[in-house]
Amino acid sequence: SELTQDPAVSVALGQTVTITCQGDSLRNSYAAWYQQKPGQAPLLVSFGLNNRPSGIPDRFSGSKSGSTASLTITGAQADDEADYFCNSRDTSGHHVFFGGGTKLTVL
Amino acid sequence: QMRLQESGPGLVKSSETLSLTCTVSGGSITNGLYLWTWIRQPAGKGLEWLGLIYPTGVTHYNPSLNSRLTVSIDTSKNKFSLDLRSVTAGDTALYYCARASVFCGGDCYVFEYWGQGSLVSVSS
């Protein structure tokens, strides 16, 4: 199974941006989303239907429709500029997939 | 505070075995709520899931690795390890260990905690 993400997305400072992740595995599972800045390990920012780890700002929200999961950043900040990856599991529940990543630029 | 730390050689010769260890602190590796995983990232590229191990020792691997991978766990030392055999230049990457949880009634695999990564280069 594959997860497809747009390679690059840009957003004006303070505006809202949605990053998508598409794949058949998402019909029966949910995505988790990670933010990765240069030289750092990925950081979990959202999973399932709008769940966030403690410490993650509420401007990050996750959703899903059919085979597409989305991460929405409402009021993007300069600090949100990073690569964003999604992941999900396959139908067996034993294997995991990552999307190719989306580079978010905040203008 | 949960912490994971990768360790191992930074340089491996082609056709040999790449071995890494992940030391877990701030919690027990035997906790049945969590899975222990390896993920890698070639420079400038995306993330690739390699495999996972349950505290019981049950493993699941990325089929693309063609049976070259073994993940093991040492509960007495709170560590888990990766052995990747017959490496090539294509295995050069930053290797991460991570703790995974399953949420959403089994429908979310979530990597909550990550190590800082161990850079491994394969030389000819």
- Run of H or E including A52: none
Instruction: Output the pLDDT for position A96.
Output: 92
Q: B16, B43 in Cβ contact below 8 A?
A: no
Residue range B78-103: average pLDDT? Answer: 96
Percent of chain B past pLDDT 70, that is, above it, reads 100
Q: Please write the tens of the pLDDT for every residue from A7-66.
A: 999 999 999 999 999 999 999 899 999 999 999 999 999 999 889 999 999 999 999 999
- In this complex, do B108 and A93 lie within 8 Å of one another by their Cβ atoms? no
**Which residues touch B102 (CB under 8 Å, ≥6 apart)?**
B35, B108, B109, B110
Backbone angles phi, psi at B105, to 5 degrees: 65, 30
Per-residue confidence band for B107, with pLDDT thresholds at 50, 70 and 90: confident
Report CB contact under 8 Å: B111, A94: no
Q: Model confidence at B14, in pLDDT bands (50, 70, 90)?
A: very high
The pLDDT tens digits of the residues spanning A20-37 come to 999 999 998 999 999 999
Residue A86 φ then ψ, to 5°: -110, 160
What is the gyration radius of the CA atoms in chain B, in angstroms? 14
Query: Do B124 and B14 meet the contact criterion of CB atoms below 8 Å apart?
Result: yes
pLDDT mean over B5-25: 97
- Residue A1: band (very low, low, confident or very high) from pLDDT cuts 50, 70, 90: low
Check: CB of residue A31 under 8 Å from CB of residue A69. Answer: yes
Q: Which of B62, B104, B111 sits opposite A44 (nearest CB)?
A: B111
pLDDT over 90 (residue A81): yes
Contact B46 A100 (CB under 8 A): yes
DSSP-assigned letters across all residues of B17-55: -EEEEEEEESS-TT-TTEEEEEEEE-TTS--EEEEEE-T
Interface of A with B in 39-68 (CB under 8 A): 41-44, 47-49, 51, 53
